[in-house]
């Protein structure tokens, strides 16, 4: 007899992208992790279990079961964890939302899309590769600032500065609200509410 959980078509999978380990905590590239950690705290959920190379937490939003996941594969291999979770929990593709940082957006700006290219983000590219489709929802949160150096790798792997944190906190709060709308009403409703706000 399989220990696989029963199929739950309405279950949502919310994935935050980042790199595991203390050296990457609270860095720009780990903004997806920050959103998930704050969401788990707000919902009184804990990242207790590890499955499919991801730390996971379980909560509900209204009547909807929600799985929160932080891949532990390192950013460039995030698709391994996401594909494993999608298969194990039988998640419908339209119930997946990936939360990630975006260097092409100004700090704090939110952009939700129902599909699209990776846009140079290697974590997102890995998910597209492993799912064999780009038709899943994503929430991008901007990290670009006016003092950004030419070396992108150093910038995204650095921690937010003290003066950036008020805007980061506002973006985290808006991101949580956007996730709630996605879970309850879908990606189009979330796009309509959050794609045009300026923090």
Compute the average pLDDT of residues 143-152: 76
Catalytic residue among 29, 121, 130, 196: 29
Distance CA 86, CA 84 (A): 5
For this structure, is 29 an active site residue?
A: yes
Q: What is the pLDDT of residues 116-141, one digit of tens each?
A: 999 989 999 999 999 999 999 999 99
Percent of the chain with pLDDT strictly greater than 70: 94
Q: How far is CA 114 from the centre of its chain?
A: 14
Q: According to the CATH classification, is domain 12-194 in 3.40.50.1470?
A: yes
Q: What is the pLDDT of residue 176?
A: 98
Name the most confidently modeled range: 5-9, 46-50, 144-148: 46-50
The pTM for the full model equals 0.92
Instruction: Give the SS3 label for residue 53.
Output: coil
> What are the domain boundaries of the chain?
12-194
Sign of CA dihedral 30, 195, 42, 186: negative
């Amino acid at each position: 007899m399989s220990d696989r959980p029963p199929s739950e078509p309405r279950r949502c999978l919310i994935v935050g992208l980042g790199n595991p380990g203390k050296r990457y905590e609270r860095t720009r590239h780990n903004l997806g992790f920050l959103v998930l950690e704050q969401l788990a705290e707000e919902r009184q959920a804990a990242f207790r279990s590890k499955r499919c190379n991801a730390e996971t937490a379980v909560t509900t939003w209204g009547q909807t079961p929600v799985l929160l996941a932080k891949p532990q594969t390192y950013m460039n291999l995030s698709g391994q964890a996401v594909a494993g979770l999608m298969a194990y929990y039988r998640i419908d593709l339209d119930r997946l939302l990936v939360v990630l940082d975006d260097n092409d957006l100004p700090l704090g700006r939110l952009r939700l899309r129902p599909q699209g290219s990776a846009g140079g983000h290697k974590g997102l590219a890995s998910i597209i590769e492993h799912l064999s489709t780009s038709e899943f929802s994503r929430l991008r949160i901007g990290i670009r600032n006016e003092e950004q150096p030419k070396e992108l790798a150093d910038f995204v792997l650095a921690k937010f500065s003290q003066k950036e944190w008020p805007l980061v906190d506002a973006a985290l709060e808006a991101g949580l609200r956007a996730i709630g709308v996605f879970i309850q009403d879908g990606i189009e409703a979330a796009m309509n509410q959050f794609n045009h706000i300026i923090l």
